[in-house]
Amino acid sequence: MWNSPIILAGLLFTLAISLPAQESAVQEKLWEESNRQNPGLAMQDIKAFYQEYAPELLKELAENARQWPDQTAGFLQQLVDGYRELQKIRKENPTLYQWQLRRLGDEVKIRRIGNEIKQLDEFLRDKSAAEEPARVLELHQKKQELKKLLEEAFLASQQHQQIEINRLEAEMNMLKQLLEERNASRELILQEQYRKLTHSEW
């Protein structure tokens, strides 16, 4: 997941705060079409999931639908695919699922702060620090916050990968042990196979 990672990266559109009521029909049509393309998934469950864990992505979807109604289906499909992958992980590995949820929240926060920095940079482009000292300070603070979040996200990713490596190494060691035990029992295994095939002794 999202390896996820995986599915939500690269969607750097401005988040919407509120939307005109007449645009809800566009979003409803998008969800209905997605429902047809993704049988077995309940769109209401997907909406509820993102509303709980990443509401800003739903706002981003609404903004995309308002500005680019003919190009938003791909964004929605990425949300659907992300949800599907997370639910698969939830069933197979609950611990990893919780980690992925935290990562999703961190990624959304990182993208939001990145957008805020771009907006502040644009606002301050033709202004001096003396004209907008509060905004300049805010920009500096957000840049520092983003750097810290990126460092923390990188460290968390490295730790998770190390845990996965340790798990794979443990599985590999177990397989090696089984192979060694099988080699040690070579004669017995061959004799048993021969006996089953011929009903006589080796």
The pLDDT-based confidence of 25 (bands split at 50, 70, 90) is confident
Q: Kindly state whether residue 6 falls inside one of the protein's structural domains.
A: no
Taking 70 as the threshold, does the pLDDT of residue 18 lie above it?
no
Q: What is the mean pLDDT of the chain?
A: 87
Q: Which domain holds residue 58?
A: 21-198
SS in 3 state form for 121-175?
Answer: HHHHCCCCCCCCHHHHHHHHHHHHHHHHHHHHHHHHHHHHHHHHHHHHHHHHHHH
Phi, psi (degrees; rounded to nearest 5) at 191:
-60, -40
Q: What is the pLDDT of residues 89-121, one digit of tens each?
A: 999 999 899 999 999 999 999 999 999 999 999
Question: Whole-model pTM?
Answer: 0.64
Token pair belonging to 33: 């079409």
| DSSP bridge pairs for 2 | 5
Residue 1 lies in a domain: no
Residue 117 lies in a domain: yes
pLDDT tens string 33-55: 999 999 999 999 999 999 999 99
- Reported as a single tens digit per residue, the pLDDT across 53-65 is 999 999 999 998 9
Per the structure, the count of domains in the chain is 1
Residue 8 lies in a domain: no
The HSE-up count of residue 25 (CA atoms within 13 Å, CB side) is: 1
Q: Is residue 77 part of a domain?
A: yes
